[in-house]
């Protein structure tokens, strides 16, 4: 396990972490940018909410509208409320084909770390 991940896990356990969760493909599944028909990932939402309840700060970030210039903020907030997602902040991220980041994990890898948290 990378040292940066170990450090993050310790902060998460102590409720002191700031955790970013991507919206589409992580908190929900979206097909062909049909955002109004996004399907929530119930398992991910349960984990997000547990992390928030532990005291961690949760930021949902999305590239919805980054390329088109369409403001999806209202729809996103409605969906997060409907799905029961507990979060502190909502941020726009730039449109990209690939994100390279030393602190990033895929949703699948994140679930394998969940056992390390508790």
User: Do 12 and 50 touch, CB atoms closer than 8 A?
Assistant: no
Task: List residues bridging with 19 in a β-sheet.
Answer: 58
What are the sequence ranges of the domains in the chain? 3-117
User: Do 66 and 95 touch, CB atoms closer than 8 A?
Assistant: yes
Q: Given this model, what pLDDT does residue 111 score?
A: 83
- What are the residues whose beta carbons fall under 8 Å from the beta carbon of 37, sequence distance 6 or more? 30, 31
Q: Given this model, what pLDDT does residue 112 score?
A: 81
Q: Given this model, what pLDDT does residue 29 score?
A: 97
* Other residues' Cβ atoms within 10 Å of the Cβ of residue 19: 18
Residue 48 CA to residue 50 CA, distance in Å, equals: 6
Mean pLDDT by 10 residues, the chain (118 residues): 87 96 96 94 97 98 93 98 99 90 86 77
Right CATH for 3-117 from 3.60.40.10, 3.40.190.10, 3.40.50.1000, 3.40.1010.10:
3.40.50.1000
Write down how long the chain is.
Answer: 118
Q: Given this model, what pLDDT does residue 110 score?
A: 85
């Amino acid at each position: 396990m990378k040292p940066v991940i170990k450090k993050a896990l310790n902060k998460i356990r102590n409720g002191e972490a700031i955790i970013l969760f991507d919206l589409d493909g992580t908190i929900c599944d979206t097909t062909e940018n049909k955002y109004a028909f996004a399907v929530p990932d119930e398992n991910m939402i349960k984990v997000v909410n547990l992390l928030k309840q532990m005291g961690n700060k949760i930021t949902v970030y999305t590239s919805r509208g980054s390329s088109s210039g369409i403001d999806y903020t209202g729809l996103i907030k409605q969906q997060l409320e409907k799905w029961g997602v507990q979060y502190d902040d909502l941020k726009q991220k730039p449109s990209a084909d690939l994100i390279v980041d030393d602190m990033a994990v895929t949703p699948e890898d994140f679930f394998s770390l969940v056992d390390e948290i508790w």
